[in-house]
Amino acid sequence: MNSVATEKAGAPGFSRLVTIPGPVGRENWTGDLAVQACRDLESGHIVFLPNSPIEIPWEDRELLLGRKQSSSAYHKNIAYRPLEDRVTGLDSSEAGDAEKLRRIMRDFSRRSVEFLSDFLSPYAKTWKQELASFRPIEEKGRQARVHARNDLLHFDSFPTRPTNGARILRFFTNINPAQGRVWLTSQTFEAFGPMMVKAGRLTASVNNPVRRAAYTVARKLHLRGAHRSPYDDLMHRCHNLMKEDAQFQEDTPKNRWEFPPNSSWMVFTDCVSHAVLSGQYALEQTFLVPHSALVEPQRSPLAILESLAGRRLTV
């Protein structure tokens, strides 16, 4: 594991890596350790497991690595919806493997939930299991619209999946047999969010009375987009502003992390500014953690934004 700016790794307001050498099991992972892991994550750190606790059978891995990428499927990740047990993002030419892929994604998703139910036990009763994904595309040089680029530092905010203040927790596993997955991180939301909100005058716009009234009407009429809370609006604007700001991307101090083959890591991607620079073949499971389950709720992006806005931002 290396970092280009090791001294920054420990600097206040920057994400650092918290390594759990493992193996982790029911017998050695106490409730106190689970609470500490939650606290580290909520502080904007990456919890890193050098030896992934998720076993992927050899033949499943072979199928994932050998997946044929036709031109239309080439630019897409594969998504798995655990609650519906459904895979999306497959090309028609892949119909033959669809059932196998679904089983592999289901197994990965279940194993991740099983492991994290103990590892992050304070969250497990109330989290919502969201999408899982398979990321078969080389990230280096990947083309995308500015707002969709993942090689630019950002806090996650999904345009079509508002969270209404719940936290975005993501659990990654690098299944590439030879190549690490390389990330950059910079300041956490706690350190950087308030500056960005003030510089962009963001709370003024969500507090605008005309805008608020329009939202209230839209919600009553169940119009599209009306279920997005002011919180989601603010987070999404932060996400876009960061990606649009080339100067910020260039100048902000960064740490570089390399997650080797067969390692796993987890992170609240809504408070860790992150970018993926290179790497191919990762599996990922997302959870939405409700605000009420947090160990230090006063440090959450929601609490920070509500104190800046001077009002409630959820609906």
**Binding residues for ligand AKG, per CB under 6 A?**
135, 150, 156, 181, 269, 274, 276, 282
Which residue is closest to ligand AKG by CB? 276
Q: At closest approach, how far in Å is the CB of 180 from Fe ion?
A: 18
In terms of CB distance, is 40 or 156 closer to ligand AKG? 156
Q: At closest approach, how far in Å is the CB of 235 from ligand AKG?
A: 13
Which of 211, 278, 270 lies closest to 238 in space, CA to CA?
270
94 binds, among Fe ion, ligand AKG, none (CB under 5 to 8 A by kind): none
In terms of CB distance, is 94 or 156 closer to Fe ion? 156
In terms of CB distance, is 4 or 214 closer to ligand AKG? 4
In terms of CB distance, is 25 or 159 closer to ligand AKG? 159
Q: At closest approach, how far in Å is the CB of 122 from ligand AKG?
A: 24
Q: At closest approach, how far in Å is the CB of 77 from ligand AKG?
A: 8
Q: Which residues contact 265 (CB under 8 A, 6 or more apart)?
A: 46, 47, 48, 49, 171, 172, 259
What is the per-residue burial (b if ≥16 Cβ within 10 Å, else e) of 170-195? bbbbbbbeebbbbbbbbbbbbbbbee
Helices (H), the chain: 6-9, 31-42, 58-65, 95-119, 121-124, 189-199, 202-207, 209-220, 230-244, 246-251, 301-309
In terms of CB distance, is 61 or 215 closer to ligand AKG? 61
Q: At closest approach, how far in Å is the CB of 269 from ligand AKG?
A: 6
